[in-house]
Chains A and B, each alone.
Chain A
Amino acid sequence: MSKLTLKTEGDRYVVVTRRFAAPPEAVYRAHTDPKLVQKWMLGPEGWTMPVCICEAKPKGKIRYEWANGKGGGFYLTGEFIELEPPRRIVHVERMHLPAVTPDNQVETTFAPDGTGTMMTMRMTLPNLETRTRMLSSGMEQGMEASYARLERAI
Chain B
Amino acid sequence: MELAEPFDMSQPAISKHLGVLERAGLIVRRVEGTKRPCRLAKEGVEVIDQWLAMLRKALASNYDRLDTVLADMKPQKSRRKR
From B48, B52, B62, B71, A41 is in contact (CB under 8 Å) with B62
Total residue contacts A-B, CB cutoff 8 A? 99
Total number of B residues with any Cβ neighbor in A under 8 Å = 33
Scoring A residues 2 to 17 as 1 if CB is less than 8 Å from chain B, else 0, what string do you get?
1110101001001010
Encode contact with B along A44-74: 1 for CB under 8 Å, 0 otherwise: 1100000000000000000000000000000
Tell me, rounded to whole Å, the shortest Cβ–Cβ distance linking B5 to chain A. 23
Q: Is the CB of A4 within 8 A of B63?
A: yes
Query: Are the C-beta atoms of A44 and B47 separated by less than 8 Å?
Result: no
Cα of A138 to Cα of B80 in the assembled complex, Å: 41
Which B residues touch A4, using CB under 8 A? 56, 59-60, 63
A150 pairs with B53, CB closer than 8 A: yes
Asked if A150 contacts B57 (CB within 8 A), the reply is: yes
Is the CB–CB distance between A40 and B51 below 8 Å?
Answer: no
Contact code string B48-77 (vs A, CB < 8 Å = 1, else 0): 101111111111111101111111011001
Which among A22, A128, A132 has the greatest number of chain B C-beta atoms within 10 A? A128
Do the beta carbons of A40 and B62 come within 8 Å of each other? yes
How far does the alpha carbon of A39 sit from the alpha carbon of B62 in the complex, in Å?
A: 9
Q: In the bound complex, do residue A127 and residue B66 qualify as a contact, i.e. CB atoms below 8 Å apart?
A: no
29 contacts between A and B (CB under 8 A): A4-B63, A8-B52, A11-B26, A14-B52, A20-B70, A22-B71, A26-B73, A27-B66, A27-B70, A29-B73, A30-B73, A36-B69, A40-B63, A40-B69, A43-B61, A44-B57, A128-B24, A128-B25, A128-B44, A128-B47, A131-B50, A132-B47, A134-B51, A135-B50, A135-B51, A135-B54, A147-B53, A147-B57, A150-B56
